[in-house]
A and B are shown apart, each in its own frame.
Chain A
Amino acid sequence: MHIPDGVLDPRVAVATSLVGGAGFLYAIKRLNHARTERTTVLMGTTAAFLFAAQMVNFPVGPGVSGHLLGGVLASALLGPWAGMVVIATVLMVQCVLFGDGGLTALGANFINMGLIGAGGGYAIQASLRRAISGPRGTLLAVIAAAWFSVILASGAFAVELALGGRVQDFPSILTWMALVHAGIGVGEALITGGVVRYVLLRRPDLLEIADGDAEADRTRGRRATEAVLAGLVVALAVAVFLAPFASEFPDGLEFVGSRLGFLSDSPGLMPAPIPDYELKWPGFEHARIATALAGLVGTLVVFVVGWGMAQALPAPGKRGVAADVV
């Protein structure tokens, strides 16, 4: 997800730098209005945490691993504007200190992970929070937002590549990016949900969007169920919509990977449960059907895990009991 220098078309690099720069300055302007003495301390700590968390890769398939993007986590903890600036901070340090991500691609990386990841992710979670109250709603909202933010960011990367290249290859690039990042999104959702759950239990005051409303009325309860079901349907539809493109990829990008050696050089830490995003079940040998099933399974796993984590939270009004991990 960290685009290096020299990959984007120079015109796209200039355009994304302008858009990203404008978005960054607007976030700074909004943040300056609400700045307190401790704002930069909270942002610095969150940035340091995301920086460290991004260094830990998790396997998402054979030869492919992912890492936390953290946009939704940052915006959940600090709000959208601070979340965006935190992502910009992390990107700047990674680029300058570690050479990870290009200087001329900072704008594109900020658009993908800051504007879309933190800003867009916040919009998704805030919308869900309006329908689902209480800490359970908060948790479900951030989990769903985390998954969608990764998919959207990968889509933006595909657009940035296609704008400077061959437009006819856009569907292939988009599908490949979305499929790989659907797996990364699961990891993003699990980590974001886990951290937010812990913070909800120990320091719910830190969560900018957690309202702690213990008295959700029945109407809101029905709206919550409807919202959850609607979100699940949308997620499943996205998975099924994207999956049929997948069969075009093994020929194209696996060829690139094998010729350049980047697919065989980075084995996953553990065997993937759904290798190649295809379920190898008897009777499901057609690649499109198998990949669509894999997308469905991945989406359902995110939903079930998120729902399970939310149910494991103490009911509103009861005192949360967090396990002291140390």
Chain B
Amino acid sequence: MSSEPGIAPLTSSWPSRLIDPRAAIALATLYVVAVVAVPLAWWRTLGGLALGLAFVIGVLGITPRAILGRWMGLLLVVAFISGTAAFASAERARLGLIPTALAMAAKSALAAATMLTLTSAYPFIRLLAGLRGLHAPGLFVDSLYFMERFRYLLVDELDRMMIARRARTFRRSSLAWGLLTGLLGGLFLRTLERSLRVHDAMLSRGWTGELKVLDE
């Protein structure tokens, strides 16, 4: 279903087959809570947690490149928000502004790497099944499922609109706000109409709302 880097293919590696997705979600959540609970500037503890995560990534057989690109892209945002939060932090008086910001950024980056590892090891649909197994509201899980499924419809519709625009305007220039927002509205309506057709087709083929994983 997915070919994006950082998102697991439907065929999972053997360790992730052994560990139930419910347990994986719970473990990842506990790990992130542990990272967040570590006091600022406890660098050795953070380093130990980072080594543990690196070990898990190795055992799961995830190539670092699969998560590195997306993780690096998050660092700028993490640095910005950490800088802002450090300014307001009570720890600033004790540690100083820059060390506080760096410690916050390190914890944020480690937590983000954990979530990227989880999604690299498990296909999204297995994570959804895990969420359902953990008694997340069915309406919410269904919305997540349709969102992930229709994300690809949206990209496909966007491609069609881009091709049509290039074919009709013969140039690629920046768009005025009015045209841009009109394009967004058109993209939304086209995707909505197509997603409703897809849903009708799913119903006609026996869709009952139950999530199924092809590799099990």
Given A28-B139, A38-B196, A97-B124, verify A165-B90 contact (CB < 8 Å).
yes
- Residues of B contacting A89 in the complex (Cβ-Cβ under 8 angstroms): 140, 143-144, 147
Which secondary structure characterizes the binding site on chain B?
helix
B residues less than 8 Å from A326 (CB atoms): 160-161, 164-165, 186, 190
Whether B79 contacts A261 by the Cβ 8 Å rule is yes
The total of Cβ contacts below 8 Å across the A-B interface reads 262
Report yes or no: B81 in contact with A3, Cβ–Cβ below 8 A: yes
Number of chain B interface residues as a range: 35 or more
CB-nearest residue of chain A to B112: A99
- Given the interface pairs A100-B74, A102-B32, the reply to whether A161 lies near B151 with Cβ below 8 Å is no
Contacts of A266 in B (CB 8 A): 76
Q: How many A residues touch B, CB cutoff 8 Å?
A: 83
> How long is the Cα–Cα vector from A223 to B122 in the complex, in angstroms?
56
Bound Cα distance A262, B74 (Å): 12
Contact with B along A190-212 (1 / 0, CB 8 A): 11011111110011001000000
- 1/0 per position for B22-56, CB-CB distance to A under 8 A? 00000011001101110000000000000000000
Q: Which B residues are CB-close (under 8 A) to A88?
A: 140
Quick check: A40 and B142 within 8 Å, CB to CB?
yes
The interface residues of chain A lying within 8 Å CB-to-CB of B88 are 161-162, 165-166, 169-170, 173
Interchain nearest-CB distance for A73 vs B (Å): 9
A10 and B37 in contact, given A52-B155, A165-B90, A197-B185 (Cβ under 8 angstroms): yes
From A25, A39, A45, A165, residue with most partner B Cβ within 10 Å: A45
With a CB–CB cut-off of 8 A, which chain B residues contact A98?
6, 70, 74, 116
A257 touches B32 (CB 8 A): no
* A6 adjacent to B97 (CB under 8 Å): no
A7, A10, A25, A323: the one contacting B85 at CB < 8 Å is A7
Known contacts A4-B78, A6-B108, A103-B29; is A49 also within 8 Å of B164 by CB?
Answer: no
10 contacts between A and B (CB under 8 A): A6-B104, A10-B36, A13-B36, A44-B149, A49-B154, A90-B147, A97-B6, A97-B124, A99-B71, A323-B182
Binding site for A on B (CB under 8 A): 6-7, 28-29, 32-33, 35-37, 70-71, 74, 76-90, 92-93, 97-98, 101, 103-108, 110-113, 115-116, 118-119, 124, 127, 137, 139-140, 142-151, 153-155, 158, 160-161, 164-165, 177-192, 195-196, 199, 203
Given contacts A7-B104, A161-B88, A199-B185, list 19 more A-B pairs with CB under 8 A: A5-B108, A7-B81, A37-B203, A44-B143, A44-B145, A44-B150, A47-B147, A48-B151, A48-B191, A96-B119, A97-B119, A99-B113, A102-B36, A169-B88, A257-B80, A262-B79, A262-B83, A325-B186, A326-B165
